[in-house]
Structure 1
């Protein structure tokens, strides 16, 4: 169910985009609007999508909010990168260990 805030804190259900589809609720993660929700065409990114766009949340009035949100997003992204690197390192070590064990078994049976 799509919701729309038309500035007067009134919420409408089933907001339609310009191509006649129910608009999809999305969240902006840009530097200027981190975490701010908006309605857009549910076919966004497809050739048959319209350009419907309407903010649901009010503008971020306090610059500190943007700063804190962007800092949290950077930390979350950094943690995601570190987690991927950790998983890659663990996989690498498992592969190396498997090769060492395989070589040790082969050496044991050959000699």
Structure 2
């Protein structure tokens, strides 16, 4: 994959590679909800607590799948920071990190196009 922008942040707790992360106070942490302030996905190395974590914030990156999704699906975080298909839900603003660039099954490492945004139920 060819990320075009990688930014380093302090990891508030240990972060494994390829997980989706959220903004926190003075750093980043593993995302645990589709409504978290998602900012990208960790690179392959991850980081220990209080270490510096490289986060893909532009171009193409890779992410660990938390379930089955299809090429082109919008991606958000599950409770473990893995990528799952984003589904609009009444009363929720669902945040996404981008779009799947291939089909995936649970625990696959798959490419995604970084395109942050939000989706809401009509």
TM-score range, shorter chain: under 0.3
Query: Could you say which structure has the larger radius of gyration?
Result: 1
Please give the TM-score of this superposition, normalised by the length of structure 2: 0.23
Higher share of residues assigned helix? 1
Ranked by relative contact order (alpha carbons within 8 Å, sequence separation 6 or more), the top structure is 2
Higher share of residues assigned strand? 2
